[in-house]
Amino acid sequence: MLVLAKILFVFAAMVLLIRRGFNVGYALIAASLVLGFLFGMTPGRLSYSMFEGATELDTINLLAIVWLITLLGNVLKHTENLQKAVESIQHILGDTRVVLASIPAFIGLMPMPGGAMLSAPLAGEVAENAGVDANTKTAINYWFRHVWEYMFPLYPAVVLSAALLDITYAEIAVANGPLTLAAIVGGWYMLLRHVKKSDYVGYGDFLARFKVLVGSIWPIAAVIVANLVFGINLVLVLLAVLSVVFIQSGFFRGFRHRVFRETITLNLTLLILSVMVFKSVIEDSGAVNELPSFFEGAGIPAPLILFTVPFIVGALTGITVAAVGSTFPLLMAFIASAGVDYGNFMVAYMGAFMGVMMSPVHLCLVLTNEYYGSDFNRVYRKVVRVVGAAVAVMVVLYIMGWPAMVLG
C-alpha cells in the first residue's frame, strides 16, 4: 500500500505541475527527483541514474529520430511538396467526402506540431464548396489528421513506445492497426456520412497528377518502405532521404536557418531527455515491482488502470509522446513484466491518445477551431462521439484477445 501511495503522490505532483503551466519536461525532471527521494535512492545513485537515462544509446537514438523526422516535415512544408501532393489528391480522388478525409489524413503521414493547420486551408476550400458547416469542417480536419498516430512509425509516441518496450514498429502496427481502421470508419460514419456527395472537377489528366503526387511524397514513402519492409535503421533511412531532398532543393536556400530553428527546439529536446530520465529512475528505484501483486489483491481491473492513467495525462498535456513517456514507465509492470503484453500495451496507448484527442490544449484542435471560426463546444461534442466509438472498438478487440491471437 505504501508503494502505491508513493507512486500516486509522484503522479499527482506531476499532474499538478503540468496543470499549473509548468513545462512537461521540467515536470518530469521534478517527478524523477521526488521519486528517487521517496524510494530511498542516495543522491549519488539518483544522479547517476538520471545521467545514464539522458546519455544512454537508446536516448541518443530516440533524439536523432525525432529531430530528423521533424526536420523532414519542415523541409517538405517549406519546399511546398505537401501542398502539391494535396492538390494532386483533389484531382485524383474526385468524391468530395473522400477528398475531405484524405487531405488531413495525408498531411498526418508527416507528424509536426499544429500540422492540422497545413491541411485546414486546402480541406476548407473543398468543404466550403460542398456546403459543410464550420463545426463539421473543424471536426473532420482534426480527426482525420490523427488517424495514423496509433501505429505510424514516424510519430514520436510510436517511436518512444518501441524504445521503452523494446519492440518493433511492425509489432506496434499489428497491435494498433485495427484502431486506425476503426478511427477511419468511425470518422467517416459520424462526420462525413451526411456530407453531400459531389465530384471535384479537376484539370489535367490522371497520369500527370499521379506523377506530381509521387514526386511530392516519395521522401515519406521511401522512409516507410525502407524501415517497415526492409528493416533498415530509421536514423540511416532518414539521413539518406534528407540528403537527397537537400540536394534536390538546393539545400533550401532562403529558409535554411528557419528550418533548423523550427526543428531543434529546447522544448522538444528537453521532453525527450526528461522522458528517458524518468524511465531510468523508475527502473532503478524499483518503484513498480510490487504493483502487480497489489492491484491483483485489491481487485482493481488492470485494463481500467492502464487506460485511465495515460488518458488523464494525455488530456492535460495534449501531447501523445508526453502521455506515453510519463505514464508507461509507471505501468511497465502491467505492460512488460514478463515479456510484452500487447493487449495491455494497446489499452494504455489508446488511453494516452484518446486523452490527447479530447484535450482542450491540443494545438491542432485549438488552431483549426480558430481558423474555421467554429464553436468549440459543438466541435468538442462531435469529437467526443467519435472518441467514444473508437474506445468501444478497442474494448471489443481486447475482450476478443487481440492482438495476443496474432503476436502471442
Terminal Cα distance for the chain, rounded:
32
Q: Give the closest residue to 72 by CA, choosing from 259, 206, 255, 226.
A: 259
> Which residue range(s) make up the domain with 356?
147-203+290-408
Hey, which residues does 95 pair with through a beta bridge? 199
Separation CA 10–CA 14 (nearest Å): 6
The answer to whether position 353 is within a domain reads yes
Taking only the tens of pLDDT, the chain with its 408 residues reads 677 788 778 878 887 887 787 877 888 899 899 989 998 899 999 999 999 999 998 888 888 887 887 788 778 777 777 777 777 777 777 778 888 998 889 888 877 666 677 678 778 777 877 788 999 999 999 999 999 999 998 898 999 999 999 999 999 999 999 999 999 999 999 999 888 776 655 545 778 888 888 888 788 788 878 876 787 888 898 899 988 888 877 765 656 666 777 667 777 788 788 878 888 888 788 776 666 566 666 778 889 989 988 888 888 778 899 889 888 988 888 898 778 999 999 999 999 999 999 887 787 888 888 888 888 889 999 999 999 999 999 999 999 999 988 886
The answer to whether position 199 is within a domain reads yes
Sign of the CA dihedral 227, 271, 165, 310? negative
Angle between helices 57-78 and 206-224 (to 10 degrees): 160
Q: What are phi and psi of 199, to 5 degrees?
A: -95, 135
Cell reading at 243? 540528403
Count how many domains the chain has: 1
pLDDT value at position 262? 67
The answer to whether position 162 is within a domain reads yes
pLDDT value at position 113? 63
Say if residues 76 and 244 touch (Cβ distance below 8 Å). no
**Locate cell 542516495: which residue?**
42
pLDDT value at position 289? 63
pLDDT value at position 221? 81
pLDDT value at position 300? 80
Separation CA 223–CA 240 (nearest Å): 9
pLDDT value at position 116? 76
Say if residues 148 and 180 touch (Cβ distance below 8 Å). yes
**pTM given for the model:** 0.74
Separation CA 391–CA 311 (nearest Å): 12
- Burial 63-72, CB ≥16 within 10 A → b, else e: bebbbbbbbb
pLDDT value at position 202? 53
The answer to whether position 229 is within a domain reads no
The answer to whether position 80 is within a domain reads no
Residues 6+ away with beta carbon under 8 Å from 137 = 123, 124, 127, 372, 374
Amino acid code (one letter) for 218: W
Amino acid code (one letter) for 184: I
The answer to whether position 258 is within a domain reads no
The answer to whether position 10 is within a domain reads no
pLDDT value at position 180? 97
Separation CA 213–CA 408 (nearest Å): 39
The answer to whether position 21 is within a domain reads no
